[in-house]
């Protein structure tokens, strides 16, 4: 074999090996770079006071940047159903340290922290801590008491503290009259469907965050399902009194003149009776997955 041909064969052997080596080296560099960036981010996130001191008059601008990053972080985790929200509290901690008057960070941040997995971080105690910090820095903002009442009512089922939060918020001159009404209603009844519907509707009507709005609408849909099923079960009881048996199909209630038409869920799917004779969502309804997720998070 001539020297020229030998060089060609040698190049054919060495070039793929070289590319493979370069690719492996690049992979190692990328891994090290990502690890370094994560380490740097975690160091920054745990040094809020230092970042604020370095930011000087630009601290509010830096707070806006980190708040945007917190929203993006939450949105990405939520979209991928990733339950690991470990950087959410450090991001919110840094944001509110840089700008203690950034009201939106306390309100929505406490929701992100308190919602159970996979919708949120599942740490209502951190949501409460964030709101307490907001109250201390912004004592005239009454809606923090509304948010606090929500966490105690929905996530912790502590109706005494929920009632106390709404009552305390109602003392502010700018608060709405329903705060006092909710305080009395929760103190007397604890959790009830009508109270839950009212509170989630308040969230839906007042929030400007699309993710929070979608979450509120999801809860409102499931609360309506619960109300519908309770009514169908009551009608099935009446049907049993008349006939001596439970109805096998919802259509039998229509035939018995107990209903004018077949009832459907908020997505337009007809309700059915389960094996135990109780009204349930249709297996084809998109709400069934949401209902199961909600039940598993309790």
**98 near 51, Cβ under 8 Å?**
yes
- 69 shares a domain with 166: yes
**120 near 85, Cβ under 8 Å?**
yes
Q: How far is Cα 22 from Cα 29, in angstroms, rounded to an integer? A: 10
DSSP state of 28: H
Task: Read off the pLDDT band of 228 (50, 70, 90).
Answer: very high
Q: How far is Cα 172 from Cα 183, in angstroms, rounded to an integer? A: 14
pLDDT value at 40 more than 50: no
Cβ within 8 Å of residue 112, ≥6 positions away = 70, 74, 85, 88, 92, 120, 121, 127
Q: Is 28 part of a structural domain of the chain? A: no
- 220 shares a domain with 183: no
Give the end of a domain, one of 191, 224, 255. 191
Average pLDDT score over the chain: 84
- 170 shares a domain with 87: yes
- 185 shares a domain with 93: yes
Q: Is 200 part of a structural domain of the chain? A: no
Range of weakest confidence among 53-62, 141-150, 265-274:
53-62
* 112 to 74, 117, 212, 273, 296: CA distances (angstroms): 7, 10, 9, 35, 18
- 141 shares a domain with 233: no
DSSP state of 115: S
* pLDDT tens digit sequence for 85-104: 999 999 999 999 999 999 99
- 129 shares a domain with 183: yes
Residue position matching structure tokens 């509707």: 201
Range of weakest confidence among 19-28, 195-204, 227-236:
19-28
State residue 36's pLDDT score.
39
- 229 shares a domain with 185: no
- 241 shares a domain with 132: no
Give the end of a domain, one of 157, 191, 225. 191
- 219 shares a domain with 167: no
* pLDDT tens digit sequence for 172-223: 999 998 999 999 999 988 888 889 999 999 889 988 888 888 888 999 999 9
Q: Is 202 part of a structural domain of the chain? A: no
Domain that holds residue 125: 48-191
The whole model's pTM is what? 0.70
Q: Is 115 part of a structural domain of the chain? A: yes
Kindly state the helix (H) or strand (E) to which residue 69 belongs, with its residue range. helix 59-79
Q: Is 99 part of a structural domain of the chain? A: yes
Q: Is 15 part of a structural domain of the chain? A: no
* 271 to 7, 196, 261, 263, 296: CA distances (angstroms): 77, 22, 12, 6, 21
State residue 17's pLDDT score.
47
- 184 shares a domain with 72: yes
User: How far is it between the farthest Cα atoms of the chain?
Assistant: 103
How many structural domains is the chain composed of?
2
Q: Is 105 part of a structural domain of the chain? A: yes
- 59 shares a domain with 121: yes
pLDDT value at 280 more than 80: yes
- 235 shares a domain with 181: no
State residue 60's pLDDT score.
85
Paired sense of beta strands 272-273 and 279-280, if any: antiparallel
Range of weakest confidence among 30-34, 125-129, 160-164, 280-284:
30-34
Scored b (16 or more CB within 10 A) or e, 207-235 reads bebebbeebbebbbbbbebeebbeebeeb
What CATH number should be reported for the domain holding residue 183?
1.25.40.10
Q: Is 14 part of a structural domain of the chain? A: no
């Amino acid at each position: 074999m001539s020297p020229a041909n030998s060089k060609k064969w040698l190049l054919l052997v060495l070039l793929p090996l070289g590319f493979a080596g370069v690719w492996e080296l690049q992979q190692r560099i990328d891994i090290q770079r990502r690890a370094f960036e994560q380490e740097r981010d975690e160091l920054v996130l745990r040094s809020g006071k230092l970042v604020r001191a370095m930011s000087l008059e630009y601290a509010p601008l830096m707070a806006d940047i980190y708040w945007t990053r917190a929203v993006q972080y939450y949105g990405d985790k939520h979209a991928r159903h990733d339950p690991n929200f470990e950087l959410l509290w450090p991001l919110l901690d840094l944001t509110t340290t840089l700008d203690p008057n950034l009201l939106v960070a306390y309100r929505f941040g406490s929701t992100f922290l308190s919602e159970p997995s996979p919708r949120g971080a599942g740490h209502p105690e951190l949501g409460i801590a964030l709101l307490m910090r907001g109250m201390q820095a912004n004592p005239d903002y009454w809606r923090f008491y509304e948010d606090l009442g929500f966490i105690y009512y929905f996530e912790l089922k502590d109706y005494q503290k929920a009632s106390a939060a709404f009552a305390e918020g109602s003392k502010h001159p700018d608060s709405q009259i329903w705060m006092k009404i909710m305080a009395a209603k929760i103190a007397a009844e604890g959790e009830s469907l009508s109270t839950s519907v009212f509170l989630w509707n308040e969230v839906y009507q007042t929030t400007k965050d699309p993710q929070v709005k979608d979450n509120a609408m999801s809860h409102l849909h499931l609360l309506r399902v619960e109300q519908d099923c309770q009514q169908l079960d009551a009608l099935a009881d009446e049907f049993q009194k008349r006939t001596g048996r439970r109805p096998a199909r919802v259509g039998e209630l229509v035939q018995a003149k107990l209903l004018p038409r077949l009832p459907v869920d908020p997505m337009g799917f007809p309700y059915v009776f389960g094996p135990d004779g109780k009204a349930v969502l249709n297996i084809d309804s998109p709400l069934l997955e949401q209902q199961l997720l909600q039940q598993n998070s309790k």
